[in-house]
């Protein structure tokens, strides 16, 4: 008997779930978008939720690994307090020039999550405010949804016209839930 596979949402952190305020080294600087909690509560009824975040401030010495982990732990605990389960937060600590194996748009973290959680890639999505999020979705065989929060407006010209673009996370989740056969 085959194990059930689960659809998932891979979410960018800064600029998608929380305001992009630069390199965040302490939880006191975390500001959630007002729509984040309601959107994720709706989404988790049908999807497993994951965060994949590039944090080049670690490689640049602006943020320590411990500080970044503390921020991620805080974010995950706030979600848990709101009844939202983030299965895992994956974080690339490298700078773009490091050409590492885990930085988005590479599928390293998606591949780990798919193997560990038995995910259904065909019915999964990536939501983010950077072209690397859309490329991650494409590289992993998922659909990407681009949001105009964070750096979304700035980089919109860098994505293909066929990419689905939504105002924010809530609009992206609404779009998914209205169109996906679950």
User: Can you give the residue ranges of every domain in the chain?
Assistant: 8-179
The pLDDT assigned to 5 comes to 82
The pLDDT assigned to 167 comes to 97
The pLDDT assigned to 39 comes to 98
The pLDDT assigned to 85 comes to 98
Beta strands in 55-169 (DSSP E): 86-92, 125-128, 143-147, 164-166
Q: Which residues are catalytic?
A: 12, 14
- The rounded average pLDDT for each run of 10 residues, N- to C-terminus, in the chain (182 residues) is 80 97 95 97 96 97 97 98 98 95 97 95 96 97 97 93 96 93 53
Nearest to 147 by CA among 132, 165, 122, 131: 165
Homologous superfamily (CATH) for 8-179: HAD superfamily/HAD-like (3.40.50.1000)
Contact by Cβ (8 Å): 34, 167? no
pTM: 0.94
């Amino acid at each position: 008997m085959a194990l059930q596979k689960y659809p998932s949402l891979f979410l960018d952190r800064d600029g998608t779930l929380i305001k992009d305020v630069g390199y965040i080294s302490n939880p006191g600087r975390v500001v959630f978008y007002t729509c984040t909690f309601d959107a994720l509560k709706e989404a988790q009824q049908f999807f497993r939720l994951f965060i994949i975040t590039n944090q080049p401030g670690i490689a640049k010495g602006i943020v320590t690994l411990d500080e970044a982990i503390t921020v991620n732990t805080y974010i995950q605990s706030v979600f848990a307090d709101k009844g939202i389960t983030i299965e895992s937060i994956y974080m690339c600590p490298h700078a773009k020039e490091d050409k590492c194996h885990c930085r988005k748009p590479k599928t390293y973290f998606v591949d780990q999550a798919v193997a560990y959680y038995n995910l259904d890639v065909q019915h999964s999505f990536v939501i983010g405010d950077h072209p690397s999020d859309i490329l991650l979705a494409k590289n992993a065989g998922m659909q990407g949804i681009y949001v105009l929060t964070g750096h979304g407006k700035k980089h919109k010209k860098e994505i293909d016209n066929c990419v689905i673009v939504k105002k924010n996370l809530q609009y992206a989740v609404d779009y998914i839930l209205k169109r996906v056969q679950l």
